[in-house]
Amino acid sequence: MLQVENLTKRYGATTAVRDVSFTVARGEVVGFLGPNGAGKTTTMRILTGSLGASEGRALVDGLDVFEKPREVKRKIGYLPEVPPLYSSMVIRDYVAYAATLKGVADPMGAADRSLSKVGLHDVGHRIIDHLSKGYRQRVGLAQALVHDPEVLILDEPTSGLDPAQRVEIRELLKTLASEDRTIILSTHVLAEVEALAQRVIIINRGQVVAQRSLAELGSDTDAVSLTVASAPEDAAAILGAVEGVVGVEVMSRGRFQVRCEGDRRAALARAAVGWGLLELSTEGGLEMHYLRLTSGDGGAA
């Protein structure tokens, strides 16, 4: 559905995106992960046709974004990081306006359908300026959905929201993901990717550093964090001797980070008997990967 080939974007002397290539299949939900300034937004803006690439090309459903912008834009719904709202407008009018711009035949009908999809049908008469951030995000989503696009590109849809709003938007995205739509979701909230996406593309310093399905990531080395009240001198060695443990790192006195193959929590707990076990928890494989791939010089994985 989406095909990005050797995309490069330079702003003067700085290179925001360097030689980025990836593909997304129809109906797939892909998490686009990376720290701030990694080039996520730039890549998304190139895909939506609002920014030109310096090199490379992007295809949506086989159509080049730069050669057939109209056709491509009709297939894409885009929610930028800051929703493109006209604050003086009434919600329903705004979404209908977006529908007209996107060439929908019946803008008001499309606006109503889109608003009920994002749960704003009852407040359609309100002025956007008076809305909370969570509601604004929903209006932005309604705008992106109004022409029933095949591809949905969402740039940090939950950033700046409080936890309750975050959960709401996440639930909404889950429903959208189940509708057989191709979705690219950029975020730096790992839990969101784990909850929604089937695959993750990690980008750092303008380059793709990893592309993997979540299932693959989960089966990789897990990290366990272990906190005890009083650890013996040779605690690290004892933990290291547990079957399946790959490495032990002493974070501070009594706190260890253990990398192991598969779930070894039970064995670790047995090894730590008598040390006064305070906490034993797994850290997601994704988080581990993410931190490793995006820290330091971000060497390719």
Cβ proximity to other proteins, 143 vs 186, nearer residue: 143
* Alpha-carbon span 293 to 299, nearest angstrom: 7
Q: Taking a C-beta distance cutoff of 8 angstroms, is the pair 23, 61 a contact?
A: no
Contact flag: residue 152 with other proteins (CB under 8 A):
no
Contact flag: residue 235 with other proteins (CB under 8 A):
no
| Closest to 226 (Cα-Cα) out of 279, 262, 264 | 279
Contact flag: residue 102 with other proteins (CB under 8 A):
yes
Cβ proximity to other proteins, 127 vs 250, nearer residue: 127
When binding is defined by CB under 8 A, the residue of 6, 11, 67, 109 that contacts other proteins is 11
When binding is defined by CB under 8 A, the residue of 31, 34, 49, 206 that contacts other proteins is 49
Cβ proximity to other proteins, 51 vs 269, nearer residue: 51
Least CB distance to other proteins at residue 149 (A):
11
Q: Which of residues 58-77 bind other proteins (CB under 8 A)?
A: 69-71, 73-74, 76
Tally of CB atoms within 10 A around 138? 25
* Alpha-carbon span 134 to 166, nearest angstrom: 8
When binding is defined by CB under 8 A, the residue of 22, 32, 78, 290 that contacts other proteins is 78
The structure tokens 């939900």 sit at 29
Strand arrangement of the beta sheet that strand 182-187 belongs to: 76-79, 151-155, 182-187, 29-33, 199-204, 207-213
Least CB distance to other proteins at residue 80 (A):
5
* Alpha-carbon span 158 to 41, nearest angstrom: 14
Taking CB under 8 A as the binding criterion, the range among 101-109, 130-138, 203-211, 256-264 that sits at the site for other proteins is 101-109
b vs e for 93-128, b when ≥16 Cβ sit within 10 Å of the residue's Cβ? bbbbbbbeebebeebeebbbbbbebbbbbeebeeeb
Beta strand 76-79 with 151-155 is parallel
Least CB distance to other proteins at residue 141 (A):
13
When binding is defined by CB under 8 A, the residue of 25, 82, 237, 278 that contacts other proteins is 82
Phi first, then psi, for residue 283 (nearest 5°) are -110, 130
Least CB distance to other proteins at residue 93 (A):
8
Residues in touch with other proteins (CB under 8 A): 11, 48-52, 69-71, 73-74, 76, 78, 80, 82-89, 97-98, 100-103, 143
